[in-house]
Amino acid sequence: MQRKRRLGTLAVHAGEDETLAVPSVTTPVYQTTTYRFDSAKDAEAYLDAPEGKWLYSRLENPTVIAAERKIAALEGADAAALFASGMAAIDAALVGLLRAGDAVLLADTLYGQTTRLCRTILARFGVEIVTVPIGRLAEAAREAPANARVLFFETPTNPTMRVVDVEAVAAACRKRGIVSIVDATFATPVNLRPVEVGADLVVHSATKFLNGHCDHLAGVVAGRKDLVAAVLETRRCTGANLDPAAAYDLIRGLKTLELRVLRQNETALRVAEALERHPNVSRVHYPFLPSHPDHALARRTMQGGGGVLSVVAKGGFEAICRAHDRMRIVARASSLGGVESLASIPVISSHRNASPEELRTQGIERGLMRVSVGLEDAEDLVEDLSQALDAA
């Protein structure tokens, strides 16, 4: 007979001796750091063939893997790897693929932290940083030095919504043996699937539209299986993996991604058209507006213009600050992609460390405010932003 267990042992083990096969509709949160082995032979088998087995949640977790497979399916990719933030994903993608002596081609219009990562961190370890114009990425790939290994760019860009012909750039990279990496955070898989048109990898700050509720940090890399494997190896070593509870909420957010983004596409276009007519506005950056320099390309390559636009006040920085401070519905906050509309001024937020020359190159004026359109009624957003811009 098995000896009766004492209170302390019961507190640790009672009710959990066996995995309960519950037919849950939703993916469970596997909130565990480690996993049981039945025998030493079973443990040894993990080392020989870890895929499909479980050892430690820094290495793999069922909830996280479920979210990764969902994103890979949405992107039309072989595989995906999740991270604790968008920047962790970008870091792992670059570190996993670059070596000392390699060159990385960076579009001159990028999220400021991506550029900073390359210039202040990767450059320390012997990676050459080559900046190329956003409008000449395919040409830059064709003319790249022999040591070029990666070309990294965004589409649409932050915050001027420039759009890149991903298919053309990816084809040019492929001919030169350069890995193309696309940050498609603003596009989402609803509006653009870079891997399906030839890009090697796509990255997202899943904090934004993929999760969609401004409550978790997350990042993802998706694409070719061999490249994602190299990125995963970096994650296994650095430990920048996503927590399973956050992965559960990400799965939940992804289930409404298409509904949310289609609504945001529609509302953002209506807001952009209205603001373009405002007397205190000099310019609105939105790719589905005919006035946008990449309008024809955006209409040809994207399903929608996305949920982000930027508005430039005629009175410059002081004027846009007055408008920014007068908003009643749109929240003053630095992120994007949530169900709540958010607005920020890049020169004092995302691009505050950019030099005047970098701002000019990217077309970022001091009087520019970025607006992330949420799920509020379009008329209410137009009224709120219009009354705020009246103060500009």
- Mean pLDDT of the region 174-185: 98
User: Is residue 242 predicted with pLDDT exceeding 80?
Assistant: yes
Structure tokens at 210: 């993929």
* Per-residue model confidence (pLDDT) at position 53: 78
* Per-residue model confidence (pLDDT) at position 358: 87
Written as one letter, the residue type at 360 is R
* Per-residue model confidence (pLDDT) at position 369: 98
* Per-residue model confidence (pLDDT) at position 6: 82
* Per-residue model confidence (pLDDT) at position 20: 64
Q: Which region among 8-12, 96-100, 224-228, 254-258 has the lowest average model confidence (pLDDT)?
A: 8-12
Q: Select from 3.40.640.10, 3.40.430.10, 3.30.390.10, 3.40.50.720 the CATH code of 61-254.
A: 3.40.640.10
- Mean pLDDT of the region 42-55: 80
User: Is residue 17 predicted with pLDDT exceeding 70?
Assistant: no
User: Is residue 19 predicted with pLDDT exceeding 70?
Assistant: no
pLDDT band, residue 218 (cuts 50/70/90): very high
Taking the CB of residue 202, how many other CB atoms lie within 10 A of it? 29
CATH homologous superfamily, domain 257-390: Aspartate Aminotransferase, domain 1 (3.90.1150.10)
Residue with tokens 């205190």: 280
Count of CA atoms in the C-beta half-sphere (13 A) of 4: 2
Q: Domain segments of the chain: what residues?
A: 61-254, 257-390
Q: What is the mean pLDDT of the chain?
A: 94
pLDDT band, residue 18 (cuts 50/70/90): low
What's the whole-model pTM score? 0.94
User: Is residue 1 predicted with pLDDT exceeding 70?
Assistant: no
Per-residue model confidence as pLDDT tens digits over 284-323: 999 999 999 999 999 999 999 999 999 999 999 999 999 9
Per-residue model confidence as pLDDT tens digits over 328-381: 999 999 999 999 999 999 999 888 888 899 889 899 999 999 999 999 999 999
